Amino acid sequence: MSLWGGRFKEETDKLVRDFTSSIEVDKKLYKYDLQGSIAHTKMLWRCGIIEKEEAEEIIETLKEIEKDIKSGKVDLIGKEDIHMTIEEELIKRIGDVGKKLHTARSRNDQIALDERLYLRDKIKELSKLTCNFQEVLLEMAQKNQETIIPGFTHLQYAQPLLLAHHFLAYFWMFQRDKERFGDVYKRVNVMPLGSGALAGTSLPIDRKYVARLLGFPDVSPNSLDAVSDRDYIIEFLSSLSILMMHLSRLSEEIVLWSSPLFSFIEIRDAFATGSSIMPQKKNPDVVELIRGKVGHIYGNLFSLLTTIKALPLSYNRDMQEDKKPLFESIEITEGSLKIYIRLLKNIKINKDRMRKEAEKGFFAATDLTDYLVKKRIPFRGAHRIVGEIVKYCLEKGKNFKSLTLKEYQSFSSLFKEDIFDRLELEECVFSKESTGGTGKKALGEQINLAKEVLKETFLPEKRMW
Ligand code: ARG
């Protein structure tokens, strides 16, 4: 008979027991459940609700249970959930004293606490991983401060860039992802225990004491809200979705860049895979899988949004379904970041090929426009003149470098001999010195800034990780 079986005339049907059980999923939370129970027990004693000896016996036994769960000695099979399993185990071991643990507590505030404790750890771990990944991006950028690549818009040649600039673009995306984790952490870091089932309790508890024991800066201000919302998980899943979306864009570029059509990079053998039928193939399966797994991440966000949508206050059993999407999304994101940290270092960069492509496609067109603008031609007028030069080149099978000064001057008398300096690839890249541009000095400043923000290993409360 279950611990809640008092009002029931018959045993729960086995089908119902299996159907409602969540132990296979929430057993992951045992450490946090015990941590919360220990803090709760200390508070019950401090507030005079249970005796000191009782508290000591409960705490000691909970610690033993933790060891036994870890070593697989506690039988989890067929249990309802992690909360009932631990409580039943406690009562089995110390009898009536164990029955006092659940005083002034409900599984509704208990699960909210477990999830918040779990999330605090996971957010820290994921932030650390994101930092490590940023370090690799920064390292790649520092090594490629002279490597020129074609920059694209619409996947058409646009303007040449430094490869360092390209890697740093990702660096900043992951910086914002990390900052988003910090924001979510603030809302996760609120202590819900003591909300009871939904209304609070008439027993003289001290919630702030529990919060202090567990390192929470705040307690939740409304018991109904505390047991019934999961917005912090939804917010966290949306942060993971954005991070994985960023990874999917990088993955797409790695797929493209490693394709023979681009041949910009080569993935080292240890990080590529082969084909079961075509002996010559070497495929970028790792990044393709990461790109593919984003589907689960978005799906999990929508799964939880849909689960919580239109639920009346307060707790409803539907909410038990929040854990699977949460755990799966964390697992995928962790796995993806871990493999990416190694993978990026295992890419050979084909600098010559990148440079060759960067030289194509009238790359200096904007620079020619700027040349005229500097001579006071209105931008729109300069744009038209250069457009006409491009048209002329296309018709005559020429390019900017093969035109004579005379030909340039037939479009504008403002063109002088120094126009040819503007047509050099390096000049074109290094001259983009506006803050945040791909110019040499601007890039140096960007690298310094990136180093600075990486030093901020901050915990969100104090910005310490
Ligand atoms: N397994 C439940 C969950 O994850 C714990 C809370 C159960 N509460 C209840 N009133 N049945 O949501």
199 Cα–ligand 1 center, Å = 16
Confidence of residue 98 (pLDDT cuts 50, 70, 90): very high
Pocket test for ligand 1, best of 20, 224, 320, 326 (most atoms within 8 A of CB): 320
Mean pLDDT of the 333-341 span: 97
| pLDDT value of residue 123 | 97
pLDDT (mean) for 302-307: 98
Q: Which of 3-12, 281-290, 330-339 has the lowest mean pLDDT?
A: 3-12
Question: Binning pLDDT at 50, 70 and 90, where does residue 320 land?
Answer: very high
154 an active-site residue?
Answer: yes
pLDDT given for residue 465 in this prediction: 32
- Ligand 1 atom closest to the CA of 81, numbered from 1: 1
pTM value is 0.94
- Give, in order, the Cα–Cα distances in Å from 203 to each of 55, 100, 264, 320: 17, 13, 68, 27
With the most atoms of ligand 1 within 8 angstroms of its CB, the residue from 108, 116, 327 to mutate is: 108
What is the rounded average pLDDT for all residues in the chain? 95
Instruction: Encode pLDDT of 21-40 as tens digits.
Output: 999 999 999 999 999 999 99
pLDDT level of residue 459 (50, 70, 90 thresholds): low
Which pLDDT belongs to residue 463? 40
Give yes or no for residue 462 having a pLDDT over 60.
Answer: no
Instruction: Please state the rounded mean pLDDT for residues 209-218.
Output: 96
Supply the pLDDT for residue 74. Answer: 96
Residues at CB less than 6 angstroms from ligand 1: 22, 26, 81, 107-108, 111, 315, 317, 319-320
In tens, the pLDDT along 396-429 reads: 999 999 999 999 999 999 999 999 998 999 999 9
